[in-house]
Amino acid sequence: MVYKHQHFHETTPEVETEFPPAAVLEGAVSDALASAGGIDATDVTVTATGSVITLAGSVLQTAEITRAEEVTRSVPGVTEVRNSLDAKTNINEARGI
C-alpha cells in the first residue's frame, strides 16, 4: 500500500457534519411531540431555521395546537416557535362536514 499526502490545491477542506444542528433540533422536537401526551402529531411537520421552529400541518383538536407549542418551547435550544397548525375539527366545520 502506498501512502499519498492529501492535496487541497491551495484551498482548505470543508468539514461537513453528518447531522447539521437544524436536523438535530428538528429531531428533538419531533421526538418530544411524539412522546408528549395530549397530542396526535402524526400530521405535524417540524422545520428548524437556526433555533426557530416552525410547526405546520394539522392536529385533531384545537387544544392540541396549544399543547404542541408548549411542548416545542420546552425543548432545549428552541428560542422561538412559529405555529401554523390547523385543527381538523375546524377544517371539517368550515367544509360543513
Cβ proximity of 61 and 87 under 8 Å:
yes
CATH of the domain at 82: 3.30.1340
Tell whether 10 is covered by a domain: no
Average pLDDT over residues 23-39: 93
Residues spanned by the domain of 34: 21-95
pTM over 0.75: no
The larger pLDDT score, comparing residue 68 to residue 14, is at 68
Tell whether 26 is covered by a domain: yes
Tell whether 40 is covered by a domain: yes
Among residues 85, 16, 81, 17, which one has the least CA distance to residue 50? Answer: 81
Counting the structural domains of the chain, the total is 1
pLDDT confidence of 21, banded at 50, 70, 90?
confident
Q: What is the pLDDT at residue 15?
A: 64
Alpha helices in the chain (DSSP H): 21-35, 62-73, 88-95
